[in-house]
Amino acid sequence: MSNDSQAHSNQHALFAVLLGIVGLLILLVFITIRSQGDNASTTSAVGNALPTVDTVVVGPSTTAADITLTEGTTTTVTVSGNYTDTNSCHDVADTGHIKVQLGRQSAFSTGGTGPDCGTYDDNHCIVENVQMASGVSSGSTHWSCTVSNCTTSDDTTGSYVCTAPLQYYMTPTDAASRFTADKLKATVIMSDAGGAGAATGNTSQELNTTDALSLDATTVSSGINYGSIALGGTSAEKTVVVTNSGNSCGDNVGVCAGIKVQISGSDMTGSGCTTTIDKGQQRWDINAGTAWTGQTALTGSPVNMVMSMPKANTSTAVTASTYWKLKLPTTGVGGTCAGTVTYSPVRL
């Protein structure tokens, strides 16, 4: 074969090899592209769902019941129930907020049908938006809340319990109150990072009226101690301070009527008392410095001390004082004699 023919044959062989390589590359590229298409990933943003409060229960505990306040001090109220957050119940429990509001119904917005009772007021609006952290309220002032039954990240429902102290003078809603048409209303609003859900309310319970008064600590511990008195003599003046320690709020032309205070008592006697001292020898007045002759004699039947003693509206107690004196007979009395003086609250 000539040299030219041999060269021409080699070129054809080289060209064939090159075409084969190019075809292989095209095939590999084609396969690679198809492979990348088969493994393509997909993404989708999940929208936030606002939490919803499913139930609201009001009572002294997690059982629904009317509230009766303890005279002169605070009483714990509980607002509890269940909630749902379809993203995760942890959105509320760990970093969200629980806003709780409690008060007489007519104090709420929109004539009592709205969700808000306004700013905090011991009388009719116990409100706070509580920050939650790992299922427990953090830094709260009035309401303390906990969340339970929210365990795994997949859980969408949980239970909440919130408690707050109610002052003894909080305005009642029962039949004895001027707000007899009201109920004790509670609303709960839950929030997550996306915002606040709708309010859920409860108006099933009453806040009862408590008619009560208390006496100053000295009188409670020692009574009215007149000390030693000579026959025919008159004791030094003794003071008894009375506090309206209840929340009575009857209707008195559009304001809370409060209570009136009545006084009654017994004769002074005892095993060491030689002769009974008539109860009328003890006398009282609401003005200091009044002479014994100008004071009111103690009787066995109740006598009005003050006609109207309003309930407190703040932590400042509402008080009134009575001033007592005892005059002994000129003869026949000796030893240590004791009796009873009764102060009674009467609802107006």
Backbone phi and psi for residue 23, each to the nearest 5 degrees, phi listed first:
-60, -40
Handedness of CA 107, 109, 111, 113 (dihedral sign): negative
Nearest to 56 by CA among 95, 99, 110: 99
Structure confidence by residue, pLDDT tens digits, 64-101: 999 999 999 999 999 999 999 999 999 999 999 999 99
In this structure, the answer to whether residues 191 and 328 fall within a common structural domain is: no
Kindly state the DSSP code that residue 236 receives in the 8-state scheme.
P
Cβ neighbours of 231 (radius 10 Å): 11
pTM of model > 0.95 = no
Q: Is 332 left (phi over 0), alpha (psi -120 to 50) or beta?
A: left
Kindly state the DSSP code that residue 149 receives in the 8-state scheme.
S
Instruction: Give domain status of residue 117, yes or no.
Output: yes
Check pLDDT > 80 for residue 37.
Answer: no
What total of structural domains would you count in the chain?
A: 2
Residue with tokens 């009035």: 142
Range of lowest pLDDT (148-152, 225-229, 250-254, 327-331): 250-254
- In the structure, what pLDDT confidence band is assigned to residue 46 with cuts at 50, 70 and 90? low
Q: Where does the chain have alpha helices with state H? A: 3-38, 90-93, 217-222
Instruction: Give domain status of residue 32, yes or no.
Output: no
In this structure, the answer to whether residues 58 and 152 fall within a common structural domain is: yes
**Domain end position, chosen among 205, 227, 246:** 205
Q: What is the mean pLDDT of residues 313-326?
A: 96
Nearest to 78 by CA among 190, 168, 165, 174: 165
Nearest to 60 by CA among 42, 79, 45: 79
- For residue 320, give both structure tokens: 């009134």
Q: Which domain holds residue 91?
A: 52-205
Contact assessment for residue 111 and residue 209, using Cβ atoms and an 8 Å cutoff:
no
Structure confidence by residue, pLDDT tens digits, 124-166: 999 999 999 999 999 999 999 999 999 999 999 999 999 999 9
* CATH code of the domain covering residue 269: 2.60.40
Check pLDDT > 90 for residue 306.
Answer: no
The radius of gyration computed from the CA coordinates of the chain, to the nearest angstrom, equals 40
Instruction: Give domain status of residue 337, yes or no.
Output: yes
Q: How far apart are CA 84 and CA 75, in angstroms?
A: 30
Structure confidence by residue, pLDDT tens digits, 174-209: 999 999 999 999 999 999 999 999 999 999 999 999
**Domain end position, chosen among 205, 236, 270:** 205
Instruction: Give domain status of residue 40, yes or no.
Output: no
Check pLDDT > 90 for residue 24.
Answer: no
Check pLDDT > 60 for residue 303.
Answer: yes
Cβ neighbours of 238 (radius 10 Å): 19
Cβ neighbours of 74 (radius 10 Å): 14
Instruction: Give domain status of residue 304, yes or no.
Output: yes
